[in-house]
Structure 1
């Protein structure tokens, strides 16, 4: 059988409530899965939008940094065309070095540089180099820059034709250098009057605009391929993107926590800006909303299932009550079936079915009661017919024995036999089908006395009682056919003495009747037929089937066993419940 067929069979065998719950659970589950998938897709799209917003925020920040660098360029241009600086630079170019006036002019220019560069500026210091290679500078100008770096920078400035040149920071130059040639503007000759070099604190430029970043604990990194320009974390740096796309974002695990990083690379300067912050700083609320939504879906699903279960119970409960009542009816207990509460006031199909079932139940109960009365009458009639079978056969056997006694001139023995026969006839003609165990034993003793005259030394009888079974009631003429059966299957076929023992034992809840003989026994093939009552009884006897039928009519539960072994005899045991008169 295929798996689908097995599942379908299993589904068909479920009760109605489980079927409804399974169907509702399937549809609700599909709806939940679709809803959760749609929600996840929308949340992922929303998160992607947030990630892109973070990248846009970084772009805005970079523009502010660029504006700061542009301010440095503008500042360099303003100082390069400043009238006082122009005038002093012209004097220096015309005087030449080595004179007192030249030294005084260099000093004046230095103060002009100091005046032009305020403390609030991102420019640490300004250096002026005249056409003769002499220089003057304001405070804050470093001298630890490698010569090759300065030479490379100066070559770029010389080739710029008066435009600002940005250089660094590099591995050997930790400053951002901005250089511009000072050209003569008063006569528009654009003669070279020297060079201005601005030493900028790039960290200050970057840090001045960092407050606009939305994340509370963001760490910013600005770097090139070989130089870290700015960093907020000094040790155990997170993995920074290198040789990747010009911009992007990703979620990573750093020091056991979830972090978000977005980056952007400027093609003109080669600087890469990377913003790095804990994921929960900005997106924690999104995660909380997602988890709450998923929890809400789960709660709604559970509530829906409970509601469906309640509705299914309302629908199927009347059917379950009806099924329960039918199962009780199968046991024959119609009164208990009627006691099971059923909703007969409903106007739907279930209500109609319930009312029709109750009507059918009442009719069946009435028919069963009527049939029961008839069965009782039939049972009584059948019992009397079975009992009536005993009397003619036993009478025939006894009269036949008396006949042979008279012919044998045993008139005294025949007379005593007639007396015992009279006792038996009075007992057998009693209309009451039941007698006490004591009277049954007395009747068996009379029967044995009759048989002793007939069999003389060929049969030896013993009657024994254990306990006090005499007061209990039993079907009349039960032991006598068993003794008769022992004689026919024992004494009649033996040449030596046949011992027949009759024992009546009182037990805790029952009475045990046992009749044993020492006859030849029964073959195994014959024994099964005897036990199934398929063997025709010998002579004129009615057989043990008659006894079994009367016991079956009288008792709901009893034991009837036949044991036999060839050469050792046969034993028949009957165990019936204790029952006193009137019970």
Structure 2
């Protein structure tokens, strides 16, 4: 069912669609810009964390170089060898004092070092630093064992007792002996908070959650709610897949997580930035834009209603006047004066003038039209009735048969049948009816030419019910009789045949005359009996591929080929 929408509603709908389309495109643009901004923030945050982890690694590497320098120091090596050889002696006492003085010569204040401890071969510890960190025996044995596994290499550990200390372990080995025997263990404790704060401007914001994991166990955190909590599974998956940043939800809060693995220690540095702190202004801007678009939408719809009413109200008035005129009231223009000065007002004034003119013309021409109809009726009565001719020919036929004039009777009957065919209003006729019309014409001509006129018709029975344009064969046969007489014998032999090729019907009319130019239809000559007319008629009915073709005979004469589509139903057009 067709939906009828008034012009006013169409205008409002047009404005509404325009506003919605513009707003949709704008919101899509804002959304894409917001995603682009998020992507830039993600990449910058990830890059910042990567640089931050490199700064931490640089600090730890500097401390590591210092521990290597201490472990390989000749005085410290000599002191530890004396202690190992003589556990309790005066030489051991002086060796310990010399070793402590050597430790004082190192500039520990350049690093956020909490304490430095050397544990000798016998398990005695020697401390230097702001605080002497008493370590439980179990911890000391564990540290000595872990350092021994590195065989003089460096090992960093975190989370010894809390998040405030990173511990560097290194086994001290005798460098003068080829088998590098163990002399003791060097333990350096670093204030983790001081190390983080010493990085400077690259330190993450106070709202961020900075976490450092060792084997997915936290060893540093700046928020107590993350204490003793293992690394979330989503962060573990990102670490394994190599994703450097991702938006995750933890404890019902949305965070931008960035990860960086420190190659020096193997620790994983995680920075969690609250989503609200990153995109607070962007979210506020989106809300403001949404409110602004809503306000613009409502305003434009309201303006569109006013605008539509200003256009449709005069049109509705004009439509009402037209309905009055349709009912025969031609004086409705006097009811309301036209106030619009635009095109609608001009149209209303023109309509009023038209109603006046129509009223006058109807009154003036009413009687004239009646007189014209009466004249046309009288003219029709004055026309010759074809039935009068049919009846007259029937009377002649009856009189000839009564007088025994069979030849005259057959000629008159054939002429009557031809007259009925030519005066018929049918555009299409069956092929068998057209052949019958040709036979009537040939019957009349045989009385003139007698035995000199011979015609052979070979049309398959299945083609007789095909429809062809009426009166196209008889003019061509007439043309063949006129120009197809043999110059030597004076006889005229005509052959009419037909054949179907798929959806195409070809009809040939061949004679044995002197022949004609095969390019006759392309010339401007006015000779001939309607060949061009028939050709043009077929082209108009069926299109370019169809029409008349002029061919040369096998021995002599001319073959006229008629090509039309096969029509088994009257009225089908192939144009």
Match of 1:322 in 2: 318
Structure 1: distance between partners of 2:303 and 2:149: 83
TM normalised by structure 2 equals 0.51
Match of 1:58 in 2: 49
Choose the corresponding residue for 2:167, options 159, 177, 184: 177
Choose the corresponding residue for 1:250, options 247, 250, 253: 247
In the alignment, structure 1 residue 33 sits paired with structure 2 residue 29: no
Change (3 A) 1:306 1:74: farther
> What is the 5 A alignment of 1:8-407?
9-10=2-3, 12=4, 14-82=5-73, 84-86=75-77, 88-89=79-80, 92=83, 96-116=86-106, 118-119=108-109, 121-139=111-129, 140-145=131-136, 147=138, 149-170=139-160, 175-183=165-173, 192-209=182-199, 212-213=202-203, 215-224=205-214, 227-235=217-225, 241-242=232-233, 243-246=236-239, 247-252=244-249, 259-266=255-262, 269=265, 271-302=267-298, 304-305=300-301, 309=305, 312-313=308-309, 315-326=311-322, 338-343=335-340, 346=343, 350=344, 353-362=347-356
Change (3 A) 1:307 1:240: farther
Secondary structure of the equivalent of 1:136?
A: strand
Q: Deviations over 1:499-549 (max 9, x none)?
A: xxxxxxxxxxxxxxxxxxxxxxxxxxxxxxxxxxxxxxxxxxxxxxxxxxx
In the TM superposition, residue 359 of structure 1 has moved relative to its aligned partner by 0.9
Q: Deviations over 1:172-222 (max 9, x none)?
A: 998432122335568999665433221223343234438534544223222
Change (3 A) 1:207 1:48: same
Structure 1: distance between partners of 2:73 and 2:301: 82
In the TM superposition, residue 100 of structure 1 has moved relative to its aligned partner by 1.0
Match of 1:451 in 2: none
User: Runs of 4+ in structure 1 displaced over 6 angstroms?
Assistant: 171-174, 186-189, 236-239, 327-333, 364-370
Which residues of structure 2 form unaligned runs of 5+?
Answer: 365-575
Contact 1:122 1:201 in 2 (8 A): yes
The structure that has the greater radius of gyration is 1
In the TM superposition, residue 169 of structure 1 has moved relative to its aligned partner by 2.7
Contact 2:163 2:221 in 1 (8 A): no
Secondary structure of the equivalent of 2:247?
A: strand
In the TM superposition, residue 133 of structure 1 has moved relative to its aligned partner by 4.3
Please report the RMSD computed on the Cα atoms of aligned residues, expressed in angstroms: 4.2
TM normalised by structure 1 equals 0.51
Q: How many residues align?
A: 355
Secondary structure of the equivalent of 2:59?
A: helix
In the TM superposition, residue 342 of structure 1 has moved relative to its aligned partner by 4.4
In the TM superposition, residue 47 of structure 1 has moved relative to its aligned partner by 1.3
Which residues of structure 1 form unaligned runs of 5+?
Answer: 371-583
Structure 1: distance between partners of 2:339 and 2:176: 115
The worse-fitting range, judged by mean Cα deviation, of 262-271 and 26-35 is 262-271
Q: Deviations over 1:380-419 (max 9, x none)?
A: xxxxxxxxxxxxxxxxxxxxxxxxxxxxxxxxxxxxxxxx
The worse-fitting range, judged by mean Cα deviation, of 260-269 and 56-65 is 260-269
Contact 1:344 1:354 in 2 (8 A): no
In the TM superposition, residue 105 of structure 1 has moved relative to its aligned partner by 1.7
Structure 2: distance between partners of 1:205 and 1:145: 25
Secondary structure of the equivalent of 1:339?
A: coil
In the TM superposition, residue 16 of structure 1 has moved relative to its aligned partner by 0.9
Q: Deviations over 1:100-156 (max 9, x none)?
A: 121122023223324426356322211223345443222434233451x44343233
